[in-house]
Amino acid sequence: MDESQLRNLSPLDGRYRDKTNVTREIFSEHALIIARIKSEASWLEFFLENFRKDLLTKDVKEKLNQLSKSPSSSIAIRTKEIEQTTNHDVKAVELALAEEFDGNEELQSLIHIFLTSEDVNSLSYAMMLQSALGSFQKLLISLTKNIQNKSDKFSDLAMLARTHGQPATPTTLGKELNVFNQRLRNELKKLKKQKVYAKWGGATANYNPHLLAFPEMDWLDLSKSFLAKQEIALTSVSTQIEPHDYMADIFQNFVRINNILIDFSHDIWTYISQDYFKLKLVENEVGSSTMPHKVNPIDFENAEGNLGLSTAIFNHLADKLTKSRLQRDLSDSTVLRNIGSAFGYLEIAITSLEKGIQKLDANVDKIASDLSERYELLAEPLQSFLRLEGKKDAYDLVKKITRGKTLTRKSYIEVVEKLIDNKKYKKTLLQLKPESYLGLAKNLAKKGDI
């Protein structure tokens, strides 16, 4: 590592640089310039195909095809150099693209035809978000599979549940893990259906010069056809900027995902603190500068912190970007550039959770010992069977015996013998143990909606 990396302001580019490779590839300044070049080149090709086929020679078509699909880094660097003079990022893209066609002035004159910067930006950010949706779905699917593996492994492991932090009706460790797996998968279903949009109508999105020059054309239909080639939908009615409502949908979807992952981190952290999970040791890793014995749940703590940062940015993006004065103000421009930061912190968190999950191993003996003698937990089926016997004061009867108290196997049997009349019910309750009172938990550990 050189000194310049130690001077990075953001940990996304410093400490966590190697953990944000996916996000950097999609949302870096380089990626934004490349997306703008693709937008401009693909539009020029589309325009020539529909209006100036005479200029669309084989060489021009091949060049535009390359620029619209995989422009080189050299043109991105050249764009940034030009921007030092223009002080306008999209204009710099236009000029850099023009240099690719030196000597062909007629073609150069048609670069950026009928476009405003916000047409290019709306398409560029749409393409970037489209890529992010695909990449982060893959990351999250991998995470859910790892959670599911643990859920399957511990599907039968009976465990003391806690509501309000207090001992509650038994469950299995696997079922409780599967709760998070299913919540994440439900959000992934919504992400999969998410569309991305762009506007494409010029300065105030009314197609003013378009219609003046080519009044016979259906410009809305043409715009839809063009954007469909990029698998992007048209926002037909807008101001100079795409209103970003679809972006808010995406960001709020990820806020929900972040909250689920924070909830997961909290629960795993708590299970570790209760000694329900043991952490596999990593050689040479240090848990404390003064307490050599410590093995800390740092991966889940790291994830929690980064998820909070991601959520804060996503919330601001969703709140800010859907508001713009009159036909356009520039306050969204600087905010849009921080989309990558929100995804970057999420990428770090996912990496931490993947790492942390691999270290988890259930402490079977501890989990079993906490549950085995908790016969007061069987107060629930006891009062339920009393209700089935027609005893209207069933709840109060059991409450007097069990509330705030512990029951041993012996005292539980005495209560059942005393209160239950029905022989079938009595037999069922006498055979019952806390670790066998699991309902459908074992099945629910493996059940899913997807």
If asked whether residues 280 and 237 sit together in one domain, one would say: yes
CA-based radius of gyration for the chain: 30
Q: Tell me, yes or no, whether 12 lies in a domain.
A: no
Q: Tell me, yes or no, whether 450 lies in a domain.
A: no
If asked whether residues 142 and 218 sit together in one domain, one would say: yes
Q: Tell me, yes or no, whether 251 lies in a domain.
A: yes
Of 335, 368, 401, the residue that ends a domain is: 368
Angle of the 245-273 helix axis to the 117-153 helix axis, nearest 10: 30
At 450, is the pLDDT very low, low, confident or very high (cuts 50, 70, 90)? very low
If asked whether residues 402 and 358 sit together in one domain, one would say: no
32 has pLDDT over 90:
yes
Mean per-residue pLDDT, 36-42? 98
* Residue-level pLDDT at 283: 56
If asked whether residues 235 and 174 sit together in one domain, one would say: yes
Mean per-residue pLDDT, 236-242? 96
Neighbours of 243 (CB within 10 A): 18
Phi, psi of 294, deg, nearest 5: -75, 140
294 has pLDDT over 50:
no
Helix residue ranges per DSSP H, 194-297: 208-213, 219-228, 245-273
* Residue-level pLDDT at 287: 52
Q: Kindly list the catalytic residues.
A: 164, 288
User: Which CATH number do you get for residue 296?
Assistant: 1.20.200.10
| Span 307-348, pLDDT tens digits | 999 999 999 999 999 999 999 999 999 999 999 999 999 999
User: Which CATH number do you get for residue 385?
Assistant: 1.10.40.30
| Span 197-207, pLDDT tens digits | 999 999 999 99
Q: Tell me, yes or no, whether 15 lies in a domain.
A: no
Q: Tell me, yes or no, whether 42 lies in a domain.
A: yes
Mean per-residue pLDDT, 73-81? 96
* Residue-level pLDDT at 295: 56
If asked whether residues 391 and 303 sit together in one domain, one would say: no
Q: Which domain holds residue 275?
A: 118-148+169-368
Mean per-residue pLDDT, 122-143? 98
289 has pLDDT over 80:
no
Taking Cα atoms as reference points, which of 313, 335, 134, 133 lies closest to residue 241? Answer: 335
Statement: the pTM of the whole predicted model exceeds 0.75:
yes
What span, in angstroms and rounded, lies between the C-alpha atoms of 360 and 404? 33
291 has pLDDT over 50:
no
Mean per-residue pLDDT, 163-173? 95
Q: Tell me, yes or no, whether 183 lies in a domain.
A: yes
* Residue-level pLDDT at 403: 81
Q: Specify the higher pLDDT residue, 293 or 54.
A: 54
* Residue-level pLDDT at 123: 98
- 197-198 vs 233-234, strand pairing mode: parallel
H helix or E strand, kind and range, residue 278: strand 277-279
| Span 356-394, pLDDT tens digits | 999 999 999 999 999 998 999 999 999 999 999 998 888
Give how many domains the chain has, as a whole number.
Answer: 3
If asked whether residues 256 and 320 sit together in one domain, one would say: yes
* Residue-level pLDDT at 282: 58
If asked whether residues 96 and 28 sit together in one domain, one would say: yes
Mean per-residue pLDDT, 230-240? 97
Angle at Cα 260 formed by Cα 254 and Cα 262, nearest 5°? Answer: 100
If asked whether residues 265 and 283 sit together in one domain, one would say: yes
DSSP state of 113: T
Of 315, 340, 368, the residue that ends a domain is: 368
Contacts 24+ apart (CB under 8 A), 370-373: 370/159, 370/160, 371/158, 371/159, 371/160, 371/170, 371/434, 371/435, 372/433, 372/434, 372/435, 373/406, 373/408, 373/409, 373/434
If asked whether residues 342 and 404 sit together in one domain, one would say: no
- Least confident among 187-196, 288-297, 343-352: 288-297
The residue count for the chain: 450
If asked whether residues 56 and 131 sit together in one domain, one would say: no
If asked whether residues 379 and 343 sit together in one domain, one would say: no
User: Which CATH number do you get for residue 65?
Assistant: 1.10.275.10
DSSP state of 168: E
Q: Tell me, yes or no, whether 58 lies in a domain.
A: yes
If asked whether residues 130 and 248 sit together in one domain, one would say: yes
Sign of the dihedral through C-alpha 236, 239, 240, 241: negative
Mean per-residue pLDDT, 79-99? 96
Q: Tell me, yes or no, whether 160 lies in a domain.
A: no
Mean residue pLDDT of the chain comes to: 93
The answer to whether the beta carbons of residues 375 and 164 sit under 8 Å apart is: no
124 has pLDDT over 90:
yes
At 288, is the pLDDT very low, low, confident or very high (cuts 50, 70, 90)? very low
* Residue-level pLDDT at 292: 40
Mean per-residue pLDDT, 429-448? 94
Of 368, 389, 417, the residue that ends a domain is: 368
At 290, is the pLDDT very low, low, confident or very high (cuts 50, 70, 90)? very low
Cα dihedral 151, 153, 155, 161, rounded to 10, equals -70
